[in-house]
Chains A and B, each alone.
Chain A
Amino acid sequence: MKNVIREMRNEKGLRQEDLGDLIGVSRQTINAIEKGKYDPSLNTAFRLAKVMGKRIEDLFQFED
Chain B
Amino acid sequence: MKRTTSSFTKKRQANLRRLAFWTITWTLSQALVTFGGAFVWPESSTLIFLSILLNVALGIGVIVTNRKYIFEGDELDKKVQLESMSLALGLSIVVGLAYASMDQTNLIPFDADISHIVIFTSLSYLTANVVNRKRYS
Contact = CB atoms under 8 A, between A and B. Distances in A.
Interface of A: 17, 20-29, 31-32, 37-38, 40-41, 44, 50-51
B77 A26 contact: yes
Majority-rule SS of A interface residues: helix
Given A17-B9, A37-B136, A25 B3 contact: no
Given A21-B4, A27-B9, A38-B79, 6 more contacts: A22-B3, A23-B4, A24-B4, A25-B74, A37-B135, A50-B1
Contacts of B75: 25, 29, 40-41, 44
25 contacts: A20-B8, A20-B9, A21-B4, A21-B5, A21-B6, A21-B8, A21-B9, A22-B1, A23-B4, A24-B4, A24-B5, A25-B8, A25-B75, A26-B8, A26-B9, A26-B74, A26-B77, A27-B9, A28-B76, A28-B136, A29-B76, A31-B137, A32-B76, A38-B76, A41-B75
List of 4 A-B pairs having minimum Cβ-Cβ separation, nearest first: A24-B4, A25-B74, A29-B76, A32-B136
Interface of B: 1, 3-9, 12, 73-77, 79, 133, 135-137
A31 B9 CA distance: 14
B76 A21 contact: no
A37 B12 CA distance: 22
B74 to A, nearest CB: 4
Contact of A22 (B4, B9, B76, B137): B4
Contacts of A50: 1
A54 B108 CA distance: 64
B7 A21 contact: yes
Contact of B137 (A20, A23, A28, A41): A28
Contacts of B6: 21
Nearest to B2: A22
